[in-house]
């Protein structure tokens, strides 16, 4: 390769979150002959969110498999394929449809290794779209990743950046146990840069996206860019906020958050899921147990309103965590400083 080619290879590559997901799947299919994709409209249609567009033509119908509209059936088939030694990548169109396969996910995939005393493993990856913000109304705007993070036997990932979307899948496929990847629908059209020196990501720990000293903002998925924007606004007001992207929801890395809290002494948790019984509630409880004496103010939470997500754009926006809401929660914690 020429010097110019070497330089080009070292330049950051800008792409959409959607393209990062596609590249991750494509590389997985090239690198792992046992891997295949299955789900509704993943083949001829190219996926509901165009993530698998073009892969059928490249890999053929044996590795890009269109399934009937029967989540319990094709997720169950994915569990069986994983038990038989294959590496299925199952796509569920939106996370609310995963409830139709909850028996297969919770009672089969998550339990078989434990119930067999480790004799069987289920190396299954399930990708699904999550979240609201696209006016898909109450039945297709859920944030159920917190529900799945409650289940032992599963690993639950929520990539918020192009880099994580590009590299989390390979790590998930290498895991001998089932991994669920929740991709936020609003992020598909967003763009970011891939660092050419990064070829893998950690799927065990949270990541500090922005260092700060006065306040810790904790989020995952589409709430991460909202926290980054809020941190910029707070900086203009003299508040340096640290932003932590949880990105791994099970196992939950509360240690990274606690370490941040020991420095900043204040914390706002942002969770698009409903507040009651949420992931934010679990994290707040853990921090209260292990970091109580580090706190200079109560832990604040900014969550989705406890209503079915409305269809009307202005009502949907009002039901979701907002940048203004995050800034307001942060300012309330700083008011007694």
Q: Could you state, in order of their start, the residue ranges of all structural domains in the chain?
A: 3-194, 207-334
Tokens 């997500």 correspond to 309
Output the six-digit token pair for 78: 């994915």
Return the closest-CA partner of residue 206 out of 154, 171, 162, 258.
258
Residues 6+ apart with CB under 8 A from 254: 283, 286, 287, 290
**Among all residues, which ones are annotated catalytic?**
71, 140
CA angle 20, 271, 122 (to 5 degrees): 55
The span from the CA of 328 to the CA of 38, in Å, is: 43
Residues constituting the chain = 337
Peptide bond just before 251 cis, omega within 30 deg: yes
**Is domain 207-334 annotated with CATH 2.70.98.50?**
no
Phi then psi for residue 212, to 5 deg, are -160, 175
Give all strands (DSSP E) within 97-176, no chain letters. Answer: 125-130, 155-157
Q: How far is CA 148 from CA 77, 91, 122, 220, 325, in A?
A: 20, 16, 16, 15, 26
pTM as predicted = 0.95
Output the six-digit token pair for 168: 């989390």
Specify the fold of 3-194. Answer: Rossmann fold (3.40.50)
CA angle 118, 123, 127 (to 5 degrees): 140
pLDDT computed for residue 335 by the predictor: 85
Residues of the chain under the 70 pLDDT cut = 1-9, 336-337
Do 207-334 and 3-194 have the same topology in CATH? yes
Return the closest-CA partner of residue 70 out of 44, 37, 109, 39.
39
């Amino acid at each position: 390769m020429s010097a110019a080619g070497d330089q080009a290879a070292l330049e950051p590559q800008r792409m959409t979150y959607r393209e990062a997901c596609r590249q991750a799947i494509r590389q997985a299919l090239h690198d792992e002959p046992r891997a295949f994709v299955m789900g509704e409209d993943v083949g001829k249609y190219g996926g509901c969110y165009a993530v698998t567009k073009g892969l059928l033509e490249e890999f053929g119908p044996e590795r890009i498999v269109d399934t009937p509209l029967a989540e319990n059936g094709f997720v169950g088939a994915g569990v069986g394929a994983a038990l038989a030694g294959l590496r299925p990548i199952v796509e569920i169109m939106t996370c609310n449809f995963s409830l139709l396969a909850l028996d297969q996910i919770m009672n089969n995939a998550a339990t078989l290794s434990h119930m067999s005393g480790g004799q069987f493993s289920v190396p299954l990856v399930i990708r699904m779209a999550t979240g609201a913000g696209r006016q898909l109304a109450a039945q297709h705007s859920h944030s159920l990743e917190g529900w799945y993070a409650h289940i032992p036997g599963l690993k639950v990932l929520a990539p918020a950046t192009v880099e994580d979307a590009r590299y989390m899948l390979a790590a998930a496929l290498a895991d001998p146990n089932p991994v669920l990847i929740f991709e936020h629908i609003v992020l598909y059209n967003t763009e970011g840069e891939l660092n050419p020196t990064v070829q893998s990501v950690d799927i065990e720990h949270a990541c500090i996206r922005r260092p700060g000293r006065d306040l810790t903002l904790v989020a995952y998925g589409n709430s991460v860019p909202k926290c980054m924007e809020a941190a910029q606004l707070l900086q203009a007001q003299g508040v340096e906020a640290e932003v932590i992207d949880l990105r791994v929801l099970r196992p939950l890395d509360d240690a990274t958050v606690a370490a941040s809290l020991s420095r900043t002494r204040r914390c706002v948790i942002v969770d698009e899921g409903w507040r009651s019984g949420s992931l934010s509630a679990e994290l707040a409880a853990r921090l209260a147990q292990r970091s109580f004496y580090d706190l200079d103010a109560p832990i604040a939470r900014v969550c989705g309103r406890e209503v079915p997500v409305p269809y009307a754009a202005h009502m949907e926006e009002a039901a979701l965590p907002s940048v203004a809401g995050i800034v307001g929660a942060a300012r309330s914690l700083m008011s007694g400083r």
